[in-house]
Amino acid sequence: MTRRPNGTVRKPKPAVASDVPGLPVRMAAAKLLSIVVDARTPLDGLTDNDNGHPHYLALDGRDRALLRAILTTALRFRVTIGKLISKRLERPLPPNASTLTHILHVGAAQILFLDVPDSAAVDLAVTHAKGDPRTARFAALVNGLLRSLARGKESELGPMLDATLDAPPWFADMLVNAYGEPKAHAILAAHRVEAPVDFTVKTDPEGWAGRLGGFVLPTGTVRVEKLQANVSDLPGFAEGDWWVQDAAAALPARLLGDVAGRRVADLCAAPGGKTAQLALAGADVTALDVSRNRLARLVRNLERLRLTATVVQSDLLSYAPDELFDAVLLDAPCSSTGTVRRHPDVPWTKSAEDVAKLAALQAGMIEAAAKLVKPGGRLIFSNCSLDPAEGEQLLRDLPAESGDVSPDPIRPGEIAGVDPFLSEDGTLRTTPADLQLATPGISGLDGFFAARFRRNA
Ligand SMILES: C[S@@+](CC[C@H](N)C(=O)[O-])C[C@H]1O[C@@H](n2cnc3c(N)ncnc32)[C@H](O)[C@@H]1O
- Is 446 assigned a ligand-binding role in the annotation? no
The answer to whether the CB of 446 is under 6 A from ligand 1 is no
> Could you give the CA distance from residue 275 to residue 297 in angstroms, rounded to a whole number?
12
Whether the CB of 416 sits within 6 Å of ligand 1 = no
Atom of ligand 1 nearest to the CA of 336: 1
**CATH 3.40.1160.10, domain 13-162, yes or no:** no
What are the angstrom distances between the C-alpha of 389 and each of 20, 280, 362? 49, 32, 10
Range 246-270 average pLDDT: 98
Q: Examine residue 271 and say whether the peptide bond preceding it is cis (omega within 30 degrees of 0).
A: yes
For ligand 1, whether the C-beta of 107 sits within 6 Å is: no
pLDDT of residue 331: 98
**How high is the pLDDT of residue 437?**
98
Q: Among 9-18, 199-208, 227-236, 395-404, whose mean pLDDT is lowest?
A: 9-18
273 marked among binding-site residues: yes
- Contact criterion met (CB below 8 Å) for 177 and 389: no
Question: Separation of 374 CA from ligand 1 center, angstroms?
Answer: 22
The reply, when asked if residue 257 is annotated as ligand binding, is no
Q: How far is the CA of 317 from the centre of ligand 1 (A)?
A: 12
Question: What pLDDT band is residue 10 in, cutting at 50, 70 and 90?
Answer: low
65 in contact with ligand 1, CB cutoff 6 A: no
pLDDT of residue 265 exceeding 60, the answer is: yes
pLDDT score for 399: 72
Domain extents in the chain:
13-162, 246-455
Mean pLDDT of 266-278: 98
Question: CA–CA separation, 118 vs 123, rounded Å?
Answer: 9
The pLDDT assigned to 400 comes to: 63
Please check the confidence at residue 147 and state whether its pLDDT lies above 90.
Answer: yes
pLDDT of residue 2: 47
Give the pLDDT confidence of 374-401 residue by residue, as tens digits. Answer: 999 999 999 999 999 999 999 998 876 5
Tell me what percent of the residues of the chain surpass a pLDDT of 70.
95
205 annotated to bind ligand? no
Cβ atoms 362, 355 nearer than 8 A:
no
Of 6-15, 40-49, 139-148, 384-393, which gets the smallest average pLDDT? 6-15
Contact 85, 105 (CB under 8 A): yes
Determine if ligand 1 sits within 6 Å of the CB of residue 387. Answer: no
CA of 382 to the centre of ligand 1 (A): 11
272 is in an annotated binding site: yes
Distance (angstroms) between ligand 1 centre and the Cα of 402 equals 24
pLDDT band, residue 432 (cuts 50/70/90): very high
pLDDT-based confidence at 19, cuts 50/70/90? confident
What pTM does this model have? 0.94
How large a percentage of the chain has pLDDT more than 90?
Answer: 92
Q: Which comes out higher in pLDDT, residue 225 or 18?
A: 225
Strands laid side by side in the 222-224 sheet: 215-216, 222-224, 197-201, 242-244
Q: Is the pLDDT of residue 192 over 50?
A: yes
Among 12, 17, 11, 14, smallest CA distance to 124 is for 17
The stretch 316-320 carries a mean pLDDT of 98
Distances in whole angstroms, Cα of residue 123 to Cα of each of 23, 71, 75, 161, 219 = 10, 19, 22, 26, 49
**For domain 246-455, which CATH number applies: 3.40.50.150, 3.50.30.30, 3.60.15.10, 3.40.50.720?**
3.40.50.150
Instruction: Please name the residue whose Cα sits nearest to atom 6 of ligand 1.
Output: 269
pLDDT averaged over every residue in the chain: 95
| Distance separating the N- and C-terminal Cα atoms of the chain | 87
Q: Is the per-residue pLDDT at 239 higher than 80?
A: yes
> For 194-250, what is the HEC assignment?
CCCEEEEECCCHHHHHHHHCCEECCCCCEEECCCCCCHHHCCCCCCCCEEECCCCCC
How do residues 402-414 score in pLDDT, each as one tens digit? Answer: 678 999 999 999 9
* Ligand 1 centroid – CA 345 distance (Å): 20
pLDDT of residue 457: 86
Q: Work out the pLDDT band at 1, boundaries 50, 70, 90.
A: very low
Res. 94 pLDDT band, cuts 50 70 90: confident
pLDDT at 212: 97
> What is the C-alpha to C-alpha distance for residues 205 and 199, in angstroms, rounded to an integer?
9
Q: Is 269 among the annotated ligand-binding positions?
A: yes
Q: What pLDDT sits at residue 89? A: 96
**Ligand 1 near 166 CB (within 6 A):** no
90 CA to centre of ligand 1 in angstroms:
48
Catalytic residue among 160, 302, 340, 384: 384
Whether 334 is catalytic:
no
Is the confidence metric ipTM above 0.95 for this complex? Answer: yes
Within 13 Å of residue 128, how many CA atoms lie on the same side as its CB? 28
- Ligand 1 mutation pick, 266, 290, 304, 314, max ligand atoms within 8 A of CB: 290
